[in-house]
Structure 1
């Protein structure tokens, strides 16, 4: 029987969604910008530059904006304007983005959701079925560091059914202000500062940052009895909290023989997983990434009692009593 993916949501790029992690305790909005996959995609929208309401306060990137109520009738097309042009990498469809946003209803000016107050930016993939099409089309090609305002008609938002929980009717055009903080794809790596690896009793891990799997050399010695969690590349982001969901590159090996049993590097995938849920799968991995800084590559060595112990996955290279070795590039957290 095929075992469940170790990191729960390590799936092909273009298919993963945050909700796939099942993280019911993560900060959530009344109206998530995620969307359900549709059977057939309509043609791309026509993108126009207005009309769009004025941003009257919080006009700097990273500040919570205040947006005027829409004036007159909104466009039937997707209206998109770059308010602040960033100088970073251009976002492509199927990339993951990290962004803060505020959303309100055109006709009333009522704010139905914003991430600025939660102090946890959204991490979401610009893929069909993962996010509303207004975002998918409106943000493609924008550079990180940009503030983008858009007016999304129902066809490119929540459709004729709207979103009753958020008070959005099927006729409502939605206004968003989005600060695109960063973007990631299957070639992304951690890019922190290299930390010396001087313990000969521990695996050594490559420090390449080209998106390829770092080489892991496991010593021909007995594994440690206790959990090990060390920086390979130390980033400068916030420390991971136990209630967060992470976007990662990773690989997992068994100590004996150093054979890889699962990885995302070079596979066209990234992994999203809830730290809380990982506690129920490989407790030591959850403990090993908690407290580490976003943007880091981390070596985690997990003894059997914090991994699968005497109940390894069926038909796998992981055996009873296996010590596991992970390298994890923590790209983003929410």
Structure 2
């Protein structure tokens, strides 16, 4: 009898949810779901806080220009909320500007699970783009400005400059860590 009582309560709750979902426009439902997802993401981030945001110096990168890097993301700090860039190996020549062609090698790790998601080094083929043309995520369009040919640059990209709510195999609101090599600038 107790099981039937729980089933009845569950059925009543499910019916109420369905009834409420049917009220109002679909946009309201989508907005509520989006707000709930963002609130859940924010709450999860707050409860897992380490007390400080990581800096570029907290990320360990082994390997030099032209070789696939090994990237270590620490557990002792939180992902930064702003774009972080740091040249790990200096380049030479003029820095890249919007509208210029770049040829880049890169390795991408996702912050939440510290796993490699993609690497042009693994494919043996660098990636070509036009800087500032919207061909890549905003974190690249902003973070590669000024990069010189031959430079190895670390980019820590917050979700709003990456894939936001998700996509391309990324979890929603994922912070991205790239190590990029500027094979050719211009």
Q: Deviations over 1:59-93 (max 9, x none)?
A: 21001001012432111000111100111331001
Q: Deviations over 1:144-178 (max 9, x none)?
A: 11000011011001112x12x42x11221000000
Taking structure 1 as the reference length, the TM-score comes to 0.38
After superposition, the Cα gap between the structure-2 partners of 1:126 and 1:158, relative to the gap in structure 1 and judged at 3 Å, is: same
Q: Deviations over 1:171-216 (max 9, x none)?
A: 21000000001122xxxxxxxxxxxxxxxxxxxxxxxxxxxxxxxx
- Of residues 50, 64, 67 in structure 2, which corresponds to 1:63? 67
The equivalent residue for 2:175 is 173
After superposition, the Cα gap between the structure-2 partners of 1:139 and 1:52, relative to the gap in structure 1 and judged at 3 Å, is: farther
The equivalent residue for 1:54 is 60
CA distance in 2, matches of 1:93, 1:153: 21
Q: Deviations over 1:23-61 (max 9, x none)?
A: xxxxxxxxxxxxxxxxxxxxxxxxx96365111x3x210
Moved over 4 A (4+): none
| Matched ranges for 1:50-129 at <5 A | 50=56, 52-55=58-61, 57=62, 59-71=63-75, 72-129=77-134
After superposition, the Cα gap between the structure-2 partners of 1:134 and 1:174, relative to the gap in structure 1 and judged at 3 Å, is: same
Task: Count how many residue pairs are aligned between Structure 1 and Structure 2.
Answer: 132
| Matched ranges for 1:1-334 at <5 A | 50=56, 52-55=58-61, 57=62, 59-71=63-75, 72-160=77-165, 162-163=166-167, 165-166=168-169, 168-184=170-186
After superposition, the Cα gap between the structure-2 partners of 1:155 and 1:52, relative to the gap in structure 1 and judged at 3 Å, is: farther
Q: Which has the higher contact order (CA 8 A, sep 6+)?
A: 2
Cα RMSD (Å): 1.7
Assess if the C-alpha contact under 8 Å between 2:163 and 2:173 holds in 1: no
Taking structure 2 as the reference length, the TM-score comes to 0.66
Assess if the C-alpha contact under 8 Å between 2:58 and 2:73 holds in 1: no
Q: Deviations over 1:229-268 (max 9, x none)?
A: xxxxxxxxxxxxxxxxxxxxxxxxxxxxxxxxxxxxxxxx
CA distance in 2, matches of 1:113, 1:67: 13
Unpaired stretches in structure 2, ≥5 consecutive residues: 1-53
After superposition, the Cα gap between the structure-2 partners of 1:153 and 1:182, relative to the gap in structure 1 and judged at 3 Å, is: same
SS in 2 for 1:170: coil
CA distance in 1, matches of 2:184, 2:94: 8
CA distance in 2, matches of 1:76, 1:137: 15
SS in 1 for 2:65: coil
After superposition, the Cα gap between the structure-2 partners of 1:170 and 1:53, relative to the gap in structure 1 and judged at 3 Å, is: same
